[in-house]
Amino acid sequence: MKRVVYAAAFSTLALLTGCASQNVSQPALPLGGTVDTGLKADVKVGETITGQSSVNVLFGMLKLGGDSKFADGVTYGGGEGGFALGLDPVSSAKAAAAYKAVKASGADVIVAPRYEVDVQDYVVYKAVNVKVTGQKGTISSIH
């Protein structure tokens, strides 16, 4: 009987004693890089274009609705850091608004984009509305 008690006590002690590892790595300075291709583009600037997008977030991490197509290749910082699972509703709404503006107008780029961001925060629910306005940019040649 003593063996059973000792085995149970040892097993309980082994289960309560655990190991954990933690690795925190952060560079001292932000790393930045540039790519110089030596190519120049001639961009024809046209009329004003706009695009709009909305996204709703529940409990800071569950995205409800919103768009499924986004402009890629540009970082849209929203200044709304700290969201769980890397979710940044402001930057995703900016990317979706930019996609809609470019797609609807047939532009190649948005020249001088200006973003209007409206965030309604209700603690457990957040509604983000973004409107982008800029000039239509069409690349006429690359040399």
pLDDT in tens, 6-41: 888 877 766 666 555 455 555 555 666 777 778 888
Contacts of 133 by beta carbon, 8 Å cutoff, 6+ apart? 48, 49, 50, 113, 114, 116
**What is the pLDDT at residue 100?**
94
Report which of 88, 82, 141, 139 is spatially closest to residue 117, judged by C-alpha positions: 88
**What is the pLDDT at residue 73?**
64
The better pLDDT of the pair 135, 29 is held by 135
The domain limits of the chain are: 40-142
Identify residue 63 by its one-letter amino acid code: K
**What is the pLDDT at residue 84?**
46
**What is the pLDDT at residue 98?**
92
The 125-142 sheet, strands edge to edge: 62-64, 41-58, 125-142, 109-121
At residue 26, the 3 state secondary structure works out as coil
Identify residue 18 by its one-letter amino acid code: G
| Mean pLDDT of the region 118-130 | 88
Q: How far apart are CA 21 and CA 17, in angstroms?
A: 14
Q: Tens digits of per-residue pLDDT, 89-122?
A: 888 888 899 999 999 999 999 998 999 999 888 8
Where do the DSSP E strands lie in 17-108?
A: 41-58, 62-64
Q: Tens digits of per-residue pLDDT, 46-92?
A: 999 999 999 998 887 788 888 888 887 665 554 444 444 546 788 88
pTM score over 0.85: no
Rounded alpha-carbon distances, angstroms, from residue 26 to 21, 32, 82, 85, 127: 17, 14, 16, 18, 32
Q: How far apart are CA 89 and CA 91, in angstroms?
A: 6
**What is the pLDDT at residue 82?**
46
